[in-house]
Amino acid sequence: MGIVTPGFTGRPRSGAPELPPGQYLTPDFPVLSAGPTPRVPHESWEFVITTETGAEYRWSWAEMMALPQETPTVDIHCVTRWSKLGTSWQGVSLDTLLDGVDTAAAYALAHSYGGYSTNLPLDDLRAGRAWLVHTYDGADLPAEHGGPARLLVPHLYFWKSAKWVRGIRLGLEDTPGFWETAGYHDYGDPWREQRYQGD
């Protein structure tokens, strides 16, 4: 237990849903980005998976939309301490996109229009735990929330769910992304409160 601050009681605890440590619930959908919001038209959008040998697997917008679609409803947790429960999305499972990709890689680096990047183990993109989503709450994903398409990896802090995602580079070694280079945790499990390097 930490040092008690006299007089602090906090919100009533009873009946509150269980959240990862240090998180609080918000009904809003705050935005956290490092720079201006890129605007990417569907016509020029593409998604590319590049393997460790340099092989490329590409999807246009129409090709991605023609793949089997899923509608995950998930809780999301931002490293800035807000959590939002029961968010509903539509998109393509990374299992579908990785199916047929020939790779021995252990790591993935997601990269985005606008220059953002974030790294995660490739296993965390598999087994029904990650999606490329284009619809939020029944409508096109707004640009400030990462549209036209973003990653959704809800079991990790939300900065791992790269907005405006353009592709994934697979590698045999781990390459830190944007926030990971700026002092944030390499893996980012909210339930183990892995916010910053060394957590």
Partner 1 sequence: MGWQPARLAHRRVETPTAQTLVLQVPGWAAHLPGQHVDIRLTASDGYQAARSYSLAAPADGERIEVTVQRVPDGEVSPFLLEGYREGDPVEVRGPIGGWFVWRPTESDPVLLVAGGSGVVPLMAMIRARRTAGNRAPFRLIYSVRTPSDVFYNEELRHRVRDDAGLDVAYVYTREAPEGWRGEPHRVGLADVTTHGWPPDLEPLVYVCGPTGFVEAVSDLLVGLGHPPGRVRTERFGPTG
Among 48, 55, 172, 182, binds partner 1 (CB under 8 A): 182
Q: Does 80 bind partner 1 (CB under 8 A)?
A: yes
Round to whole Å and give the CA distance between 52 and 105: 7
Among 10, 17, 100, 138, binds partner 1 (CB under 8 A): 10
Span interacting with partner 1, options 5-13, 48-56, 91-99, 133-141, rule CB under 8 A: 5-13
Round to whole Å and give the CA distance between 166 and 23: 29
Stated as kind and residue range, the H or E segment containing 90 is strand 82-93
Q: Whose structure tokens read 């045999």?
A: 172
Span interacting with partner 1, options 32-40, 85-93, 121-129, 132-140, rule CB under 8 A: 32-40
Q: Which is nearer to partner 1, 131 or 178 (CB)?
A: 178
Q: Would you give the DSSP letter of residue 1? A: -
Q: Does 81 bind partner 1 (CB under 8 A)?
A: yes
Per the CB < 8 A criterion, the answer to whether 186 and 119 are in contact is yes
Round to whole Å and give the CA distance between 87 and 67: 22
Q: List residues near partner 1 by CB under 8 A.
A: 1-11, 13, 22, 24, 26, 28, 30-38, 80-82, 114-115, 144, 178-179, 181-183, 196-198
